[in-house]
Structure 1
Amino acid sequence: MELTDKQLDRYARHIVLKDIGGVGQKKILDAHILIIGAGGIGCPAIQYLAAAGIGALTIVDDDVVSLSNLQRQVLFSENDVGKSKVEVAKSAAQHINPDVIINPINQRLTEVGFVEDVAAFFAPFDAIIDGSDNYQTRLLVSDLSVAHRVPLISAAIGQFQGQLGTFRGWEADKPCYRCFVGDALDPDDCDDCSEVGVLGAMVGLMGSFAAMEVIRVVTGFGQDPAGKLQLFDGLAPTMRSINLPKDPYCKSCATPLQT
């Protein structure tokens, strides 16, 4: 596929980057990304991926827009209160870039019978962004990422802190998200931002960073971040990276030789 004159103009600032170029932009245009959650992390990720020219986005969320979302979920306005988040996100993303295909799924990934053929559902995806707000969903997404060998970009925020990691747990030397958090004995035990609060701009930072990591996965620019966790402290402000070990007894990604 050759880039059209319009695409050459629209994506010129990507194309002149020697680590992306025309070849990288074609990969972006061909990519299909799964986004779990159209909330604080999902909103900026959707915006920047649509602007970047990602070929298709499948967005999964069963929530509706509420007034309290508007402090940080930047795709939505007061006119959207009460509407399906995925439908509003689809309209907003296509307003940014009408060439991007948006597949909204107004359903929870954890619902029984989410899809009839899980393997077929995950086959088209080049990467997953998980911005969900509970361990039950996060661990399920991680296990599906490992089972179907789709790179996972997992982002989380709380108050003034954020964290982000890229996971490819099916590889012998790379951990999965379950290696990082364990089995989360209480799958619903996540901080609720309605109780502890969250800085809206921090959510925007983490969602934008997640979008950048998707583009890294798709194009291969820069260094490989898999197996590391990026930690942001908005109070300091500081950023640091830590290495995550692979759990040899992980029930999701450990091989028979490891167990």
Structure 2
Amino acid sequence: MQCDLKTDTSRYARQIILSEVGALGQQRLKDSKVLVVGAGGLGCPVLLYLAGAGVGTLGIVDNDIVDLSNLHRQILYVMADVGELKVSAAKRRVNQLNPDIVVDTFATTLNPDNVLSLLASYDIIVDATDNFDTKYLISDACVAGEKPMVYASISQFEGQVSVFNHYHQATQERGPCFRDLFETPPPPHLTQNCAQAGVLGVIPGLLGCFQANEVLKLILQTGEPLSGKLLSIDCLDNTFHLLSVHKNRNRLPAPTLGASTTPAWRDSDWLSPDNLHDWLESQAPLQLVDVRDSHEHLHASLGGRLIPLKDILDRRQELDTTRRIVFYCKSGVRSKAALLAVRSIHPHAELFSLEGGIERYLTTFPDNATLVAP
């Protein structure tokens, strides 16, 4: 597909003048094919910005219909779209923005029988889904098909974004995949989607923009993609954490697409504030690890060793795996990520995440902010 220089120079003028884009980069965008799985809060901004940038072919996978409750965050849709298939409404809106691109729609859900064929003709796969089962299915299919996966997840005021299975020219090998971060899904009762946990509308918009940016970087072959890195964002206090993700060369492959092996989460991984309080009071042998940033630790803490989430694997030698290790953060999100990251290299260690974080603990025991465990 060749560029129409007159049309493209006018439409894409502000990005063609960038040295990282130029006419060659614009042609790369037009020749690229990107599949977006999920046309909800994440998928909407991804589709709009990729269409605006001139990505030549966009595929959209979603079998849901537009609901009134979607409109506060799913910015592709308007009131007139309520009750319509999302893929149909999304295609219409995307082509209104840019009629020169091809939009393929698939009103279906991914499953082990169709995932490889759906992904086959696309260069880059965007995971804009809200459930773990589909994320693992996408990841396994991307590994099998040797395609990069641009990942994001959101919950309430927080989100994460990364690039998995990216091929690095310098090393001539692919970077970590989703299972290198979370080897297997947590049980359903430990996860919630937006309908259950709630979300502020701008959060998926922000994370979707990050995803679109990563896709454009991959196509243009410029900048540093988030391969081997997990960017975690808390929009309540505007904190950004960049966590290293390492390739687990000892990890067993999933037996089938999307299947689980040994569960990554157990019921006992969540430690209640009451149980932690009892352990601290009885001076039980444990290591308490605060995975927040240093300024948060100084403001209020339960003591213990400060190892910010972004450093947890780089400073793993400071973890005493001969004792129980209890990770804590503000609300339990970062401590959960820390536990799973450490479990990937110490699968037999006794690891716990403080349920509800320091906020819930200090609500229950307001006088115990100075308790210290070494």
TM-score, with normalisation over the residues of structure 2? Answer: 0.63
Secondary structure at the residue paired with 2:71? helix
Q: CA 1:250 to 1:207, structure 2 compared with 1: closer, same or farther past 3 Å?
A: same
Instruction: Find the aligned partners of 1:185 and 1:72 in 2 and give their Cα distance.
Output: 26
Q: Deviation of residue 144 (structure 1)?
A: 0.6
Residue 229 of structure 1: aligned partner: 230
In the alignment, is the contact (CA less than 8 A) between 1:163 and 1:232 conserved in 2? yes
In the alignment, is the contact (CA less than 8 A) between 1:173 and 1:246 conserved in 2? no
Identity across matched positions, percent: 37
Q: CA 1:47 to 1:4, structure 2 compared with 1: closer, same or farther past 3 Å?
A: same
Rg comparison, structure with higher value: 2
- Per-residue CA distance 1:77-98 (angstroms, 9 max, x = gap): 1111111000100000000000
Q: CA 1:10 to 1:188, structure 2 compared with 1: closer, same or farther past 3 Å?
A: farther
Q: CA 1:207 to 1:19, structure 2 compared with 1: closer, same or farther past 3 Å?
A: same
Residue 153 of structure 1: aligned partner: 150
Residue 165 of structure 1: aligned partner: 162
Residue 103 (structure 1) aligned with residue 104 (structure 2) = yes
Alignment of 1:217-256 (within 5 A): 217-252=218-253
Secondary structure at the residue paired with 1:59? strand
Residue 19 of structure 1: aligned partner: 20
Q: CA 1:153 to 1:188, structure 2 compared with 1: closer, same or farther past 3 Å?
A: farther
Structure 2, gaps ≥5 residues long: 255-374
Instruction: Find the aligned partners of 1:219 and 1:20 in 2 and give their Cα distance.
Output: 7
Q: CA 1:187 to 1:30, structure 2 compared with 1: closer, same or farther past 3 Å?
A: farther
Secondary structure at the residue paired with 1:43? helix
Q: Deviation of residue 185 (structure 1)?
A: 4.8
Q: Aligned partner of 2:152: which letter?
A: A
Residue 206 of structure 1: aligned partner: 207
Secondary structure at the residue paired with 1:71? coil
Residue 71 (structure 1) aligned with residue 98 (structure 2) = no
Residue 217 of structure 2: aligned partner: 216
Q: Aligned partner of 2:114: which letter?
A: F
Instruction: Find the aligned partners of 1:188 and 1:133 in 2 and give their Cα distance.
Output: 15
Instruction: Find the aligned partners of 1:190 and 1:77 in 2 and give their Cα distance.
Output: 29
Instruction: Find the aligned partners of 1:124 and 1:152 in 2 and give their Cα distance.
Output: 14
Residue 129 (structure 1) aligned with residue 126 (structure 2) = yes
Instruction: Find the aligned partners of 1:232 and 1:63 in 2 and give their Cα distance.
Output: 28
- Per-residue CA distance 1:180-201 (angstroms, 9 max, x = gap): 1111153685322122210111
In the alignment, is the contact (CA less than 8 A) between 1:146 and 1:252 conserved in 2? no
Structure 1, gaps ≥5 residues long: 254-259
In the alignment, is the contact (CA less than 8 A) between 1:153 and 1:167 conserved in 2? yes
Residue 57 of structure 2: aligned partner: 56
Instruction: Find the aligned partners of 2:109 and 2:190 in 1 and give their Cα distance.
Output: 18
Residue 87 of structure 1: aligned partner: 88
Q: CA 1:13 to 1:226, structure 2 compared with 1: closer, same or farther past 3 Å?
A: same
Secondary structure at the residue paired with 2:134? helix
Number of residue pairs aligned between Structure 1 and Structure 2: 249
Secondary structure at the residue paired with 1:128? strand
- Per-residue CA distance 1:132-154 (angstroms, 9 max, x = gap): 11111000000011111111100
Instruction: Find the aligned partners of 2:217 and 2:205 in 1 and give their Cα distance.
Output: 18
Q: Aligned partner of 1:165: which letter?
A: S
Instruction: Find the aligned partners of 1:174 and 1:188 in 2 and give their Cα distance.
Output: 30
Residue 114 of structure 1: aligned partner: 114
Residue 256 of structure 1: aligned partner: none
In the alignment, is the contact (CA less than 8 A) between 1:155 and 1:206 conserved in 2? yes
Relative contact order higher in (CA < 8 Å, ≥ 6 apart): 1
Residue 257 of structure 1: aligned partner: none
